[in-house]
Amino acid sequence: MTRRPRAVLWDLDGTIADSKDFHWRSWRETMAAEGLALDYERFLLSFGQRNDAILGAWLPGAPPDRVRRLGDAKEECFRRLVAEGPLHPLPGALEWIARLAKAGWLQAVASSAPRANVEAMAAVLKLDRLMGALVSAEDVHRGKPDPEVFLVSAARLGAAPERSVVVEDAAAGIEAARRGGMKSIGVGGEALRAADVLVDSLSALPADALDRLVGE
């Protein structure tokens, strides 16, 4: 009897790598070039939102071409900062990715970030050789909590949703996994309590956690 493949679908920002400071610095630099000062608290309120929503709140009434230009400038700055580094993996993330690859699990990055950002971060962290797919914002029409990004990722790996586990640091991602019929691991606080497994850090994830979620 052929064993059906098992897959792990990884969120990237905040799950595999700590990229918040790169986003903060790139937004601050981009807005300063426009003569606008950005404080950290205002940045935190917007963190994780789409660029058009962020800029719509910061620059009410700004024409679409300006919003697009500033969003593109921010992402270009973000990629430059990532390349300059150092981009730090979060505790336990790379160790788990390597362990799962050795155990025969299929793996993909399933991110809401632009493709160029995903590719830049994956290259720095050397994820390319361990991931069967890199799925980004350009590959889907709807963002989390819609399950599309995870369903596309699983399909590209050739894994069924019920044989896939999502690893996420955001409540919207945990909800997207549920809607997609997938098990989930939440990395963070009580806001992720809907996850099937919740840990403060991937370094604290029990060694048999994924096997228990998706058996042989």
Q: What percentage of the chain exceeds 70 in pLDDT?
A: 99
Whose structure tokens read 């920002």? Answer: 13
What digits encode the pLDDT tens for the residues 158-203? Answer: 999 999 999 999 999 999 999 999 999 999 988 899 999 999 999 9
Q: Which domains does the chain have, with CATH numbers?
A: 7-18+89-213 (3.40.50.1000), 20-84 (1.10.150)
CA dihedral 62, 63, 67, 72 (to 10 degrees): -150
Please report which confidence band the pLDDT of residue 2 belongs to, taking 50, 70 and 90 as the band edges: low
Residues 6+ apart with CB under 8 A from 122: 12, 109, 128, 131, 134
**Chain-centre distance for alpha carbon 145:** 13
At residue 51, the pLDDT reads: 87
Listed range (28-37, 40-49, 184-193) with the worst mean pLDDT: 40-49
d(CA 193, CA 200): 11
